[in-house]
Structure 1
């Protein structure tokens, strides 16, 4: 019975974000000399033509940790005490956030992200979902149900070349969804952390 979920995950249709994640990993492997240019061309062609996640997995299996997971999204549940993802973390292609009574905070400002698109499904519930993105990132919210809490998009809306797009779906619930850039205090904290690490 345990094999069934992985088989169904392998049959899932690959998204543009899935294919792009594999392409990025292949290019990085070629830059590090782990595959030669001929093999890179072959694998890139297979990645771009892949229709399912199952077709993508073998392309990176021998290159270390796979970019693709089993098909399960990163799920954050606010519950009573809240949940957050911040600091240095690796962004997966799909994220699901349930606000609950404590709320969820997603902070992408220091995250490692090589994806062109990130699917974020929200159910803001009572306490809402707060999303912090770097300057230049764009959030698309046309498919978001505003619910009672509504949406506050405080980002500039201007996307810089090569930066990701967050495709946000779901419902704002009663707590609402806020999307913003880092505030002054957060930017100062980031600069201090950067100066310590150099």
Structure 2
């Protein structure tokens, strides 16, 4: 039995509540604005038959139907080729090598990654942070040798990473290999050798980008809470008006 098959069949309170729930979900998802929600919710609580309820949610997803979810990527959107082109500067790198022997090294912030960069860690460790770096070429090669030490490479979202290292009683992290890069983004090839040591690669946003993303998530939650609060208030008002109409109709019938 469908709503269209028996449009004159009287709707129950449970039927109206199901429609109201669909409207609340549509408001929270941004499918309806507040004015449309109020108009449709008012029509829902005034509806007497299935024929009056059916058009209210005809253009909205119904219970049991889940629209396909968009693909989620850690890559920043948008990160157009033109933006990346501004970070592929050519020329020479800020430095071409780094060494840590029972010590450490670090390259971070604004620096230029050369076409080939070599690093060596022995009983020590180093970090190469490429999140704010420029690149001397569309493809750069970072050769890492870690003996009883470690090297950590941090890349920004959108950069393609290829790992070609060899490890003996150690490790070369290749978890980021195969993740496609943005159009026009540089390609980072990591090579080298690890013995009783390791080379790690992680993809992270900058501190400012993480702060901005956190603020956006907080703002979205606040907006959603406000919309739900407004929706509940509209619903309470509609219920009061509906009950008032029922009492008015009953008095007229008794007279």
Tell me the TM-score normalized by structure 2.
Answer: 0.43
Give the equivalent residue in structure 2 for 1:9: none
- Secondary structure (helix, strand or coil) at the match of 1:157 reads coil
Alignment match, 1:67: 91
1:61-87 residue CA offsets vs partner (Å, 9 max, x unmatched) = xxxxx8147xxx711111222001001
Aligned-residue offset at 1:102: 1.8
Deviation track 1:33-64 (CA, whole Å, cap 9, x = no partner) reads xxxxxxxxxxxxxxxxxxxxxxxxxxxxxxxx
- Structure 1 residue ranges (4+ consecutive) displaced by more than 4 angstroms after TM superposition: 189-193
List alignment gaps of at least 5 residues for structure 2.
1-84, 213-255
Q: Which has the larger radius of gyration?
A: 2
Measured against aligned partners, the alpha-carbon deviations of 1:154-181 in whole angstroms (never above 9, x if no partner) come to 4372211111111222102221111111
Q: 1:124 aligns with which of 146, 152, 159?
A: 146
Q: Which residue is 1:18 aligned to?
A: none
Is 2:156 the counterpart of 1:134?
A: yes
The equivalent position to 2:189 in structure 1, one of 156, 167, 185, is 167
Aligned counterparts of 1:106 and 1:112: Cα–Cα separation in 2: 13
What is the 5 A alignment of 1:23-34? Answer: none
SS in 2 for 1:124: strand
Aligned length: 125
Aligned to 1:80: 102
Name the CA distance, whole Å, in 1 between partners of 2:121 and 2:209: 26
Does the 8 Å contact 1:124/1:171 carry over to 2?
yes
User: What residue is the counterpart of 1:96 in the other structure?
Assistant: 118
Change (3 A) 1:114 1:162: farther
Gaps of 5+ in 1: 1-23, 29-65, 194-198
Provide the C-alpha distance between the structure 1 equivalents of 2:140 and 2:153, rounded to a whole number of angstroms.
13
- Cα shift at 1:192: 6.2
CA apart distance, 1:124 = 1.2
The answer as to 2:172 corresponding to 1:151 is: yes
Which of 182, 188, 196 is residue 207 of structure 2 equivalent to?
188
Change (3 A) 1:187 1:67: closer
- The TM-score with structure 1 as length reference comes to 0.55
Q: Which residue of 1 aligns with 2:34?
A: none
RMSD: 2.8
